[in-house]
Amino acid sequence: MRSAINIIKDPPAHSIGHSVKEFLCNLNGPAWIDISGRDSSRTRVISTLLHGNEPSGVKALFNWLKNPERSIPLTNISISICSVEAALTEPEFSHRYLAGAPDMNRCFRPPYDSANGKLAKTILERIQTLKPEAVIDIHNTSGSGPDFTISPSTESNYAALAYNFSNRLIITALKLGSLMEVDVACPIITLECGGSYDLSADQTALNAVNVIARCDDLYKIDDKPEPDIFTHPLRFEIKENVSIGYSEASLANCDVTLASDIEKHNFGLTPENCVLGWVGPEGLDYFTAFDDQGRDIKDELFAIRENQLVTAQTLRLFMVTPRPEIARKDCLFYLVRANR
């Protein structure tokens, strides 16, 4: 992936292409699309397609840009479309990032020494040059589930911004190298629209683009319902070299087998003693769940009953993925205790 980025100014609707694939092909790699607004003194930034297997944001932008009757946005909007090559690699929208490359949304911190790191630095430099009043990073979740927003800060302006896009807000102090964590002198939030195959996710992304284009004050909260707020999520991960699969019963060739329907737990309450899967002889030692103090507290959250992985208390799980490659390289899911 090259670090140089094309900048396209006010593309006419007829130049966008006839399909999302053609739209991406026309970009010829990572790109910024700058749309002029009525108030040229203000700018808002949309980031999308940091992961090539998360298409809802770019689908929404394609439909919005393609609409010849859309109104001029209230402010300038600058749109970063990142992992174009990964998205177009066959099968389309199935590759989170290119083979051998690091996760793009883990590269927004020094040393910026990989190709993706150099691209991340270029994106950050342009955001800082634009001096936006807000940055919204649009994603799909790794599995099917409802939309939610993520904020790296407890400050009220971050929450007010998030209220525009979802009635579920997660506040996290986790430092992973994501775009959301960077200080660019304005709030950055992540919008997780739902699963990449969920039609509702595409609509959530399009609604978000319309809000960004039409809402005069993204930080006004008087007429917005207060969301459900979840704090201090933990990452439930498997250790390196642990094999994993998904099935309706334990797989003999896997250390960890998660239930094939595990996505159903996304954002619902998962009660104590709920079976999530099956494990080999090392039991909970296949996993980690570090809290904010760096303590591995998996034994407080989960237990092994015979060879079954079960919850030790009522939890709320999210970002549950049924994809073993994501489970291995990122995490199995995030969680919060139900009383938080």
**If pLDDT is split at 50, 70 and 90, which confidence band does 69 have?**
confident
* Cross-strand pairs, 227: none
Same domain? 66 vs 202: yes
pLDDT, tens digit (0-9, with 9 covering 90-100), for 78-92? 999 999 999 999 999
Domain final residue, candidates 230, 249, 267: 230
Same domain? 23 vs 144: yes
Cα separation of 201 and 183, whole Å?
28
- Domain span at residue 266 reads 234-337
How buried is 98 (Cβ within 10 angstroms: 0-12 exposed, 13-18 middle, 19+ buried)? middle
Same domain? 263 vs 134: no
User: Do 21 and 92 form a contact (C-beta atoms < 8 A)?
Assistant: yes
pLDDT-above-90 percentage for the chain: 89
**If pLDDT is split at 50, 70 and 90, which confidence band does 215 have?**
very high
Same domain? 303 vs 252: yes
Same domain? 180 vs 258: no
User: Do 148 and 136 form a contact (C-beta atoms < 8 A)?
Assistant: no
Domain final residue, candidates 230, 262, 291: 230
**What total number of domains does the chain contain?**
2
The chain-wide mean pLDDT, for the chain, equals: 94
Q: Look at strands 39-48 and 148-151 and give their pairing.
A: unpaired
pLDDT, tens digit (0-9, with 9 covering 90-100), for 265-293? 998 899 999 999 999 999 999 999 998 88
Same domain? 126 vs 176: yes
Same domain? 149 vs 124: yes
pLDDT, tens digit (0-9, with 9 covering 90-100), for 303-330? 999 999 999 999 999 999 999 999 998 9
Same domain? 97 vs 75: yes
Cα separation of 300 and 306, whole Å?
17
Residue 1 lies inside a defined structural domain of this protein: no
Residue 138 lies inside a defined structural domain of this protein: yes
Domain final residue, candidates 213, 230, 247: 230
> What's the pLDDT at 50?
98
Mean pLDDT of all residues in 130-145: 95
User: Do 319 and 143 form a contact (C-beta atoms < 8 A)?
Assistant: yes
Same domain? 63 vs 30: yes
Same domain? 222 vs 294: no
Mean pLDDT of all residues in 233-260: 96
Same domain? 84 vs 59: yes
CATH number for the domain that contains residue 155:
3.40.630.10
Residue 41 lies inside a defined structural domain of this protein: yes
> What's the pLDDT at 318?
93
Cα separation of 261 and 200, whole Å?
19
Same domain? 205 vs 86: yes
In 3D space, the residue among 252, 249, 242, 326 whose CA is nearest the CA of residue 285 turns out to be 242
Instruction: Check whether 24 has a pLDDT greater than 70.
Output: yes
Instruction: Check whether 2 has a pLDDT greater than 80.
Output: no
